[in-house]
Amino acid sequence: MFKAQIHLNIGSTNVGTAPVSSFFSYSYVQQIYPKQELNANAAGNITGLTFYLDPSATITDSSNWTVYLGHTTKTAFTSGTDWIPAAQLTQVFTGAVTRNSNKVVITFTTPFAYNNSDNLVVAAKENAPSIDINNFDEAFYVYPHIPYSTLYYKGDRAVVDPAAPPGGIRADYKSAITISGLTASTAPACPFVVYPVNNAELISLSPNITWLPVSGADSYKISLGTTPGGTDVINQQVVTSAGFSPSAPLNPNTTYYLKVMAISANTASSGCADIVFKTIPPVPANDACSGAFAAASFPYTYTQNDAVSATNNGGFITACSDAMNDGTWFKFTGDGGQFTIKITMPASSSTFDPQLGVYSGSCNNLACVDTVDNAGGGGAETSTITTTAGIEYYVNVGSYEETVDVPENTFTITITKL
């Protein structure tokens, strides 16, 4: 039997549509196994694959397979049509597969040369025109991993042509698998950090750092610093779960370097890269009505880059019938003429859906003048009001939600005297 093998989550007990579908007549499935997850000690020849079935499942009518391997730089599929081209794949097996001790073992006639620098694509299509009825619909064990790392099509019309597959469905799981012919590194794989992603900005001061579990790991070591490879904040703290939150809040507007290593039998991952992220800025100076920025000359324009750190102060603003989040504040003095207030967002704030509120009176006794929430995420909001000379007007820009405190995002406010 095979001596050099890499096992990935072969103890999983969840089923899914990979490597093929047993519940539809025909299927085509592509799965991406990143180099980081394979954790091979060197390039080498893949000589076979083993997939694992639920003990109650049958594949009698789902056993006519064609299997392909390939290299890719992708770690996930971007859409249901983002198939890896057939030209990048090599057919390694075609024929009937059989179940043996809840496994399907496929041995290649010609090994596949894996370069150990790219990610590995495992693709399979099922060609039999009939289905197997199983308790859980599908037969093979899968495990959760990088979002959208599997793309599958299943249907009853015709055998799929890998050169022109139809639109498929993306999944956040992959087959539990044994890859024969490669030797695993003696150190466990470096974990995939799910949050924060590399080069992320506007990260909370108390982030819930999470990563994907590493097969075979019994614990993890966390380091966090303010320089590359630094440990001045957290120095190789050991945790046993795939998540961690710093015991003390991080500093605002600061770049941090995070490293997560897996530990297996007292051996740590090697060569794990830093995850770089930047925390949210300090609470803006105009977070409260009492700190409203004054517009003294017109047109007045200000870009609020730190709105994500705005607090909800005393709660939601209910002076107008359409309540809203308490965002950031501006003010100006009326002269009896008309003023237009406009809120616009950059492309980076395309999901931020602002509400614009205009009030008179005082911060502790606001009177509603106007409120607008006409556009969706990323859309502009505009209000034109007729002022009374000598009256102070307060402008609030916050998220439209009126029952949940939602962070604001970058926006530009322009106040123009007509």
Tens digit of pLDDT for each residue in 82-132? 999 999 999 999 999 999 999 999 999 999 999 999 999 999 999 999 888
Q: pTM of this prediction?
A: 0.80
CATH number 2.60.120.380 is the correct assignment for the domain at 289-417? yes
Per-residue model confidence (pLDDT) at position 253: 96
Return the structure tokens found at 303: 């870009």
Rg (CA), the chain: 28
193-279: which CATH architecture?
Sandwich (2.60)
Cα torsion 229, 185, 15, 81 to 10°: value is 70
Do 193-279 and 289-417 come out as alike in CATH topology?
no
Say how many Å lie between the first and final Cα of the chain, rounded.
Answer: 84
Instruction: Mention the CATH class of domain 5-180.
Output: mainly beta
Given a contact cutoff of 8 angstroms between Cβ atoms, the answer to whether 367 and 319 are in contact is yes
pLDDT averaged over the chain?
95
- Closest C-alpha among 57, 52, 56, 84 to residue 71: 84
Per-residue pLDDT of the chain (418 residues; tens, 9 = 90+): 446 899 999 989 999 999 999 999 999 999 999 999 999 999 999 999 999 999 999 999 999 999 999 999 999 999 999 999 999 999 999 999 999 999 999 999 999 999 999 999 999 999 999 888 887 889 999 999 999 999 999 999 899 999 999 999 999 999 999 999 999 999 999 999 999 999 999 999 999 999 999 988 999 999 999 999 999 999 999 999 999 999 999 999 999 999 999 999 999 999 999 999 999 999 999 999 999 999 999 999 999 999 999 999 988 999 999 999 999 999 999 999 999 999 999 998 899 999 999 999 999 999 999 999 999 999 999 999 999 999 999 999 999 999 999 999 999 999 999 9
Residue type, 185: S
Tens digit of pLDDT for each residue in 18-54? 999 999 999 999 999 999 999 999 999 999 999 999 9
Given a contact cutoff of 8 angstroms between Cβ atoms, the answer to whether 297 and 275 are in contact is no
Q: Sketch the domain layout of the chain as residue ranges.
A: 5-180, 193-279, 289-417
